[in-house]
Structures are given as C-alpha cells and as structure tokens.
Amino acid sequence: MIERIIDLFMERFGHKPLAFRAPGRVNLIGEHTDYNNGFVMPAAINRYAYFAVKPNGQNLYRFHAFDFKKDYTTNIYQINPSKTHWANYLLGVIAQMVSDGKDIPGFDCVFGGDVPMGAGMSSSAAIESGLAFALNSMYNLGYTRMQLAHISQMAEHQYAGVNCGIMDQFASLHGKENHVLQLDCRILEYVPFELDMAKHSIILVNTGVKHSLASSEYNKRRNECQTGVEVIKQHLPVVSSLRDITLNNLNEFKLEFNDVVWNRCSYVGEENERVIAAGNALLNHDFATFGKLMYQSHYGLRDKYQVSCSELDQLVEITEELDYVVGARMMGGGFGGCTINLVKNDYIDSFVEVINSRYKTPEGQSPQIITCVIGNGAEQLT
Ligand code: GLA
C-alpha cells in the first residue's frame, strides 16, 4: 500500500515524499483501566496507517485521504476543528504541537491504511500517532515517543471529542515485535513481556457492529468512575484516581455508592489485578491462566462495566465450548468492534469454521477474521 500512496503523492504534488507508518493495536487485557491510571497490556499489530509527507514551502497543509479519495486543504494560520471528520485527527495533532510552541511549516500529505475502522483496533490512534511521528522526524521537533503519544491522545480529546486514555497511542508508538507491553498508566512506564507464540495465535473476530455509541457512553463511563473517586475522597483525601483505591476501600464504603458506580469502580479494581496476574502468567508460560483472566475480563466488562453488546457476548459464548480457545474477550471501547481470541495453532481452521457457521454479522455476512502478528511501533520507511 505504501508504494501506491507514494505514487499518488508524486502524481498530485510533483515532489518525492518521506514515508512513515504507525500500527493499530490489540489489547490482551486491561480494558477501560487506562483513563483510571491503571494497567493495560496492548501490543502493536501488522496493520498500519501509512503516510507520505513533505514540506511544500507554502502556508498550506494539503491532505489527501487515499481510502476516501478526498482532499482537505487549510491555511497553516487557521487550524480549527473541521466538519470533515477524518481531517480532525490530523489537524488535532498539528494544533497540539503549535500550542506547545512548535513551528509546523506547510506540508503535503497523502495517507491511508489497512486498520479496519470502527473495529476497536485503533485506526484513529494509528493516524494521529503516524502524523505526530512523521512531523517529529521531518521537522526535528525533539519529542520522545511518550510525548508523541500524549500529543496524539490530546488530539483525540480536543478534535475528535473522545476523552480516551493513552493506551492506543502509546501502543502505536512503542510496539515491540513479539511482545505485549504492560503499561502502568499512572507513571507511564512499561514492561515488555515476550509473547511466546509457538503454540498460540491471536485472532480477532469482527462483530460487524461499528461502535458508534461508544463515544458518548465512553465519556459517561469516565464520569461514573470520577463519581466513585469523589465518594472515597471524602474519607481518604489523598485519593486522586481509581488506581489509588483498593477493593477493600470500595467494600468498606459500599453503602455510600449507588449500584452502578460501585459496579464500575469494582470492575476497574479487579481488572487492574487481572493485568498484573496476566503478566505473571506470561512469565510462567501459563497460557491457561492467562486465558481464564481474559474470560473474567469479558464477564466484568459485560456485567459490571456494561460496555459489551449481544454480538460480542455471542462470539465469546461460542468459544466457551471450544477447548482449543484458551481465552476470549471483547476488545477496546466496546459496543461493537472485535473480540480477541487466543487460539491453539493446530486448531485455527476449526475455529474459523465454527465461527463462520455459528455467527453472522447484522447484515447476514460472515464476520471478518483477522490473525494478528505483533510488530513494532511507528517508524520511518524511506
Ligand atoms: C478505547 C480508548 C482507550 C481505552 C479503551 C478501553 O480504545 O481509546 O484509551 O480506554 O477504549 O480500554
């Protein structure tokens, strides 16, 4: 795809670009914990947003979206959120850098990708992180990868209206081949755990339900967690996020919570503990335990955090009867998108057959099934 993007760039703009790519991600475990300062365990995958970019010597940012065959041009002194939805992911990144005092001269850009959209695989984070990485290299801005992740996250907050955590942009920028990254979102430090894939594969099954509800429900979950923090804060003023609250604290003050908020908060506490346990299981090559933790994560997201949907639940239920699926759960923000499945390599064909025979998307189609290879984070190609 990058060759086609470079060719198109030269055709439209008549000069030779630099090329970059940034990946989408999977998350093995640790869902809805990042914005609560907790733990997550994502990995970058072999699906990317690709960029061809080059300064143009004019006061213009000129974008072409390869996948939509659409253009967007703006004066560099007039960066504002746009009605063109896709442009906001790019403009948001530039706006962050400019408000941080950086000079971002005019440039031309063709971008496109193969991370499915609305599937919970972070296609938007790949776009934000890819442009942030490209501008940082092209204009020698001196940002670290973690700073670029933060810039990309803020672009999503301010230009796309989703108050996401840092997991997706972090994974897109820090991915490491054959490793999952256990990130502590409070101190922004991470431990790479080798994922020995000799006997297992990571397979995504796309429900075909786009997570369109997700953004409003997502922001609602954040607020519910904050309400929980406020309750505990009255007793323990040092608490500033759910990360500072133990399951014991929650039980002690349970009577002061309404049921919904208590469920949200106890899910987050339990999920954080599962991420730590999952890391230990990987160190012991104990996939059986790892897989059980994935199922528990799904049940918590379904019953307590309430971000699943019937299609995701159905896909997970199908796997419960299959011994060769060691773990399965919904992945990402929820309300649609994919399930992530840890499947024994010798049974991949059977898995695909069973899923295809027992699940159809809301349009009556066979679901998209994606085997993931874990790769590196954002990089320059030429
Ligand atoms: C989305 C957000 C992430 C994270 C997940 C849920 O992918 O962008 O920051 O909160 O949902 O774990």
Which CATH architecture fits 2-196+376-380? Answer: 2-Layer Sandwich (3.30)
**Which stretches within the chain are classed as H helix?**
2-13, 85-99, 123-138, 145-155, 167-174, 214-233, 247-252, 259-283, 287-303, 310-320, 348-358
Which residues make beta-bridge pairs with 48? 23
pLDDT at position 214: 65
pLDDT at position 278: 98
| 24 Cβ below 6 A of ligand 1 | no
Pocket test of ligand 1: the residue of 32, 216, 338 to mutate, having most ligand atoms within 8 Å of its CB, is 32
Catalytic, 196? Answer no
Angle ∠(301,201,360) on CA atoms, nearest 5: 60
* Under-50 pLDDT residues of the chain: none
Are 199 and 342 in contact by the 8 Å Cβ rule? The answer is: no
Q: Could you tell me the fold of the domain covering 200-372?
A: Alpha-Beta Plaits (3.30.70)
Domains 2-196+376-380 and 200-372 share a fold: no
The DSSP code for 158 is I
Backbone angles phi, psi at 159, to 5 degrees: -110, -15
> What separation in Å is there between the alpha carbon of 32 and the centre of ligand 1?
6
Per annotation, catalytic residue among 7, 103, 168, 244: 168
Tell me, rounded to whole angstroms, the distance of Cα 252 from its chain centroid.
34
Tell me, rounded to whole angstroms, the distance of Cα 339 from its chain centroid.
13
pLDDT at position 215: 76
Angle ∠(334,330,300) on CA atoms, nearest 5: 90
pTM exceeds 0.85 for this model? yes
HEC letters along 259-301: HHHHHHHHHHHHHHHHHHHHHHHHHCCCHHHHHHHHHHHHHHH
Pocket test of ligand 1: the residue of 163, 167, 338 to mutate, having most ligand atoms within 8 Å of its CB, is 167
Q: What is the C-alpha to C-alpha distance for residues 119 and 332, in angstroms, rounded to an integer?
A: 9
Q: What is the C-alpha to C-alpha distance for residues 312 and 308, in angstroms, rounded to an integer?
A: 6
pLDDT at position 225: 98
Q: What is the C-alpha to C-alpha distance for residues 322 and 76, in angstroms, rounded to an integer?
A: 55
Expressed in angstroms, the distance from the first to the final Cα of the chain is 14
pLDDT at position 345: 97
> Would you kindly state where each structural domain of the chain is located, as residue ranges?
2-196+376-380, 200-372
Closest atom, ligand 1, to C-alpha of 35 = 10
Backbone angles phi, psi at 184, to 5 degrees: -90, 105
pLDDT at position 206: 98
* Six-digit token string for 373: 């290879």
pLDDT at position 213: 63
| 332 Cβ below 6 A of ligand 1 | yes
Closest atom, ligand 1, to C-alpha of 120 = 7
DSSP SS3 for 50:
strand
Q: What is the pLDDT of residues 15-50, one digit of tens each?
A: 999 999 999 999 999 999 999 999 999 999 999 999
